[in-house]
Chain A
Amino acid sequence: MSDATVRSTKTRRGAGLGERAIELFLGACGVLSLFTTAGIIAVLAFETWAFFREVPLSAFFFDTEWTPLFADKHFGIWPLLAGTFLTSAIAIVLALPAGLLAAIYLSEFASARMRRVLKPALELLAGVPTLVYGYFALVLVTPLLQRVIPDLSGFNALSSGICIGIMIIPMISSLSEDAIYAVPNTLREGAYALGAGRLATIFRVVLPAAASGIAAALILAVSRAVGETMIVAIAAGQQPRLTLDPRVPIETMTAYIVQVSMGDTPADTLEYRTIFAVAAMLFVVTFAMNLVSHRLARRFRVAST
Chain B
Amino acid sequence: MLTSTRRRLLRERLFVGLCASAVVIPLLVLALLVGHVALAGLGRIDWAFLSGYPSRRAATAGILPAMVGSLYMIAITAALALPVGVGAAIFLEEYGARSRLAAIIEVNIANLAGVPSIIYGMLGLGVFVRLMGFGRTLIAGAATMALLVLPVVIVSSREALRTVPYAMREACFGLGATKWQAIRQVVLPMAAPGILTGTILAVARAIGETAPLVVIGALAYVTFLPTSPTSQFTALPMQILNWVSRPQEAFVVNAAAGIVVLLITMLVLNLAAILLRNRLQKRVY
Q: Chain A: residues with CB nearer than 8 A to chain B? A: 15, 18-19, 22-23, 25-34, 36-37, 39-40, 42-44, 46-47, 97-102, 104-106, 108-110, 118, 121-122, 124-125, 127-136, 138-140, 166, 169-170, 173, 197-199, 220, 223-224, 226-230, 233-234, 254, 257-258, 261-262, 267, 275-276, 279, 282-283, 286-287, 289-291, 293-294
Contact = CB atoms under 8 A, between A and B. Distances in A.
B26 A234 contact: no
Contacts of A197: 8, 12
A127 B87 contact: no
B104 A279 contact: no
A124 B30 contact: yes
A40 B117 CA distance: 12
A132 B256 CA distance: 9
Interface of B: 8, 11-12, 15-16, 18-23, 25-27, 29-30, 33, 36-37, 40, 83-88, 90-92, 95-96, 101-102, 104-105, 107-112, 114-123, 125-127, 130, 147, 150-151, 154, 178-180, 205, 208-211, 214-215, 217, 220, 237, 240-241, 244-245, 252, 255-256, 259, 262-263, 266
A90 B92 CA distance: 39
A230 B241 CA distance: 9
Contacts of B26: 98, 102, 122, 125, 166, 169-170
A135 B220 CA distance: 17
A131 B105 contact: no
Contacts of A166: 26, 29
Given A29-B84, A40-B123, A129-B209, 14 more contacts: A34-B105, A101-B19, A102-B19, A129-B237, A131-B244, A133-B33, A135-B37, A139-B36, A254-B118, A254-B211, A257-B122, A258-B215, A283-B116, A290-B115
A29 B20 CA distance: 44
A106 to B, nearest CB: 7
